[in-house]
């Protein structure tokens, strides 16, 4: 069975009640049966998103979660809370969280595990820095990040997860990986999984993220191992995100 495409927005720390209302309306109007779609929004906007998208074809999620179930963890949000607000997805291991908040691959794997235990679908982000790419370490870096999850949760867990390959040097920089560069790493990730389970490797959606725009989405999504995108900046612009969703449905 061919893999479905998924176009997921990552709003990061952007939004306002008024701007979100217009954006969510436009996104739900642009959804189609030909492509899975979702928006990952800041925590305070989950209730608004749930109300706007309930019963619509667009799923929603969060951008992070605590590894803890509950307790004295000031400022943290647990998986059960995300479930109460109807989240389907939660991003784990985004490079901004790894770099700015010191999240290790082990912590990311723990978050992935608790997300799945609560019934959420983790979107596991992997990606190398420019320095690592130039040192020829791309494969080693993404497999180390992935192995932390495989060691903790097993390969079968990927049947209930999504992977997003996001080269750090392409995020928010306008410098997209070429379709060939992205495809090469996607194929490497899939081959790494196939060593453990060919069926899982064949089924798992691997998204590309990093400066995906309306004018480059179709070319990226046409690559054999690219199953959609995790979209930052362009997910905040209704026309751009809608065009990227259409590109996902058209492939
Ligand atoms: P970008 O962000 O599309 O703005 O590059 C992607 C991401 O960080 O998920």
CATH number at 161 reads: 3.20.20.70
**Which DSSP state fits 4?**
P
How close is the Cα of 72 to the center of ligand 1, in Å? Answer: 32
Active site residues: 94, 166
C-alpha distance from residue 63 to each of 95, 112, 114, 188, 196 (Å) = 11, 12, 14, 25, 28
Return the pLDDT at 174: 87
- Ligand 1 and 244: CB distance under 6 A: no
Determine the residue of 90, 123, 162, 166 to mutate for testing ligand 1's pocket, defined as the one with the most ligand atoms within 8 A of the Cβ atom. Answer: 166
Residue 200: inside a domain, yes or no? yes
DSSP 8-class letter at 163: E
- HEC profile for 75-137? CCCCHHHHHHCCCCEEEECCHHHHHHCCCCHHHHHHHHHHHHHCCCEEEEEECCCHHHHHCCC
Q: Give the separation between CA 207 and CA 162, rounded to whole angstroms.
A: 8
In 3-state terms, what secondary structure has residue 207? strand
CA angle 106, 80, 154 (to 5 degrees): 35
CA atoms within 13 A on the CB side of 219: 12
Residue 113 inside a domain? The answer is yes
Which of 26, 34, 27, 22 has the alpha carbon at shortest distance from 8? 27
Taking the chain (251 residues) in consecutive chunks of 10 residues, what is each chunk's mean pLDDT?
Answer: 94 98 97 96 98 97 98 98 98 98 98 98 98 97 98 98 97 91 98 98 98 97 98 98 97 83
DSSP 10-51: E--S---HHHHHHHHHHHHHH--TTSEEEEE--GGGHHHHHH
Confirm whether 147 is domain-assigned.
Answer: yes
- What is the predicted pLDDT for the residue at 113? 98
Q: What is the pLDDT of residue 163?
A: 98
Residue 137 is assigned to a structural domain of this protein: yes
Does 72 fall in a domain?
Answer: yes
Give the number of domains in the chain: 1
Q: Is 172 in the pocket of ligand 1 (CB under 6 A)?
A: yes
Which pLDDT value is given to residue 57?
96
pTM for this model (two decimals): 0.98
Q: 183 in a domain, yes or no?
A: yes
124 burial class (0-12, 13-18, 19+ CB within 10 angstroms)? Answer: buried
Instruction: Kindly state whether residue 1 falls inside one of the protein's structural domains.
Output: no
CB 167 less than 6 A from any atom of ligand 1: no
Distance between CA atoms of residues 54 and 88, nearest Å: 12
Pocket probe for ligand 1: among 165, 215, 233, the residue whose CB has the most ligand atoms within 8 Å is 233
Q: Is 166 in the pocket of ligand 1 (CB under 6 A)?
A: yes
Q: Is 240 domain-assigned?
A: yes
Q: What is the pLDDT of residue 2?
A: 86
Q: Is 212 in the pocket of ligand 1 (CB under 6 A)?
A: yes
pLDDT (0 to 100) of residue 27: 97
Give how far Cα 208 sits from Cα of 118, 187, 192, Å.
25, 12, 17
Distance from Cα 229 to the centre of ligand 1, integer Å: 9
Tokens for 173, please give them: 């920089």
Residue nearest to atom 7 of ligand 1 (CA): 232
Range of 134's domain?
6-250
Q: Is 170 helix (H, G, I), strand (E, B) or coil?
A: helix
Indicate whether residue 121 lines ligand 1 (CB < 6 A): no
């Amino acid at each position: 069975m061919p893999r479905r495409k998924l176009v997921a927005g990552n709003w990061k720390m952007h939004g306002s009640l008024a701007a979100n209302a217009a954006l969510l309306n436009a996104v739900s109007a642009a959804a189609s049966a030909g492509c899975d779609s979702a928006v990952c929004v800041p925590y305070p906007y989950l209730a608004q998103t749930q109300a706007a998208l309930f019963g619509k074809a667009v799923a929603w999620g969060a951008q992070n979660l605590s590894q803890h179930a509950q307790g004295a963890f000031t400022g943290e949000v647990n998986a059960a809370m995300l479930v109460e607000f109807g989240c389907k997805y939660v991003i784990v291991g985004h490079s901004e969280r790894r770099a700015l908040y010191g999240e290790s691959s082990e912590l990311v794997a723990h978050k992935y595990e608790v997300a799945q235990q609560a019934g959420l679908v983790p979107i596991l982000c992997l990606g190398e820095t420019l320095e690592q790419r130039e040192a020829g370490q791309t494969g080693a870096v993404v497999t180390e990040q992935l192995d932390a999850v495989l060691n903790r949760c097993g390969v079968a867990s990927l049947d209930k997860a999504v992977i997003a390959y996001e080269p750090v040097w392409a995020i928010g920089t306008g410098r997209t990986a070429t379709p060939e560069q992205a495809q090469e790493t996607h194929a490497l990730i899939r081959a790494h999984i196939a060593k453990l389970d060919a069926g899982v490797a064949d089924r798992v959606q691997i998204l590309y993220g990093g400066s995906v725009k309306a004018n480059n989405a179709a070319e990226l999504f046409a690559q054999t191992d690219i199953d959609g995108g995790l979209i930052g900046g362009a997910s905040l612009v209704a026309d751009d995100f809608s065009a990227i969703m259409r590109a996902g449905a058209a492939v």
